[in-house]
Amino acid sequence: MIKIGSVIICIYLFCGVFVNAGEKVELLCSFEDDSDLDAFISDGESEIVNQHATEGSSALKVVYKADRKECRFLSQSEKFKSAFTTDWSEYSTFAVDVFNESETESFLNIRIKSTDHQKIWQRQFKIPSQKVHTIKIDIKELKSKIEVDDVMYLGLTMGESQYDPNAKPITRDCTLYFDNIRLIK
């Protein structure tokens, strides 16, 4: 009996799907390996580190530079489509864990696009200082702006945005750690 349970757990982990407190979760990115960065491009400094992980032993460290109007860490188009699930319609929530190293709160823009970048959803989130914060976005909210069965862009940005005139500018360099980017059923 123990062997069967072990096999089932291994299959879930291998496929990037696991059960967490009654939820079915599809892990989009865990940042456990440098190859996890292959699907992304960045305007700032980014690297996999062994700090502030919420799952596994590693997380992504991104330094957003204040000398830029907007600083981006994103995956788009073919890179996104080859690395991640593009049909989010069967899920209820998009989630990501964030740790803000700064002494003060920071403001992170999450931008999600579909349909060849024609449809855009963006919101700015306040990230408290010195603690892990989980951002959860209801897929129903995304459906009001984008085609959730054709997602092709995920941006984790800071600074001004052409999509949100109220987005706060970057006033100082800011270091955020990301882990466990996931979809939840």
> 95, 184 in Cβ contact below 8 A?
yes
- Contact status, residue 158 vs residue 106, Cβ threshold 8 Å: yes
Are 130 and 95 within 8 A, CB to CB?
no
pTM of the full predicted structure?
Answer: 0.85
Residue-range domains of the chain with CATH? 28-184 (2.60.120.260)
Q: How far apart are CA 177 and CA 185, in angstroms?
A: 24
pLDDT per position as a tens digit, 118-149? 899 999 999 999 999 999 999 999 999 999 99
Residue 157: per-residue pLDDT: 94
Which token pair is 78?
């073919």
Task: State the Cα–Cα distance between residues 167 and 107, nearest whole angstrom.
Answer: 8
Q: What percent of the chain has pLDDT over 70?
A: 88
Residues in contact with 13: Cβ distance below 8 Å, sequence separation at least 6, in sequence order: none
Query: Which residue's structure tokens are 């690395």?
Result: 83
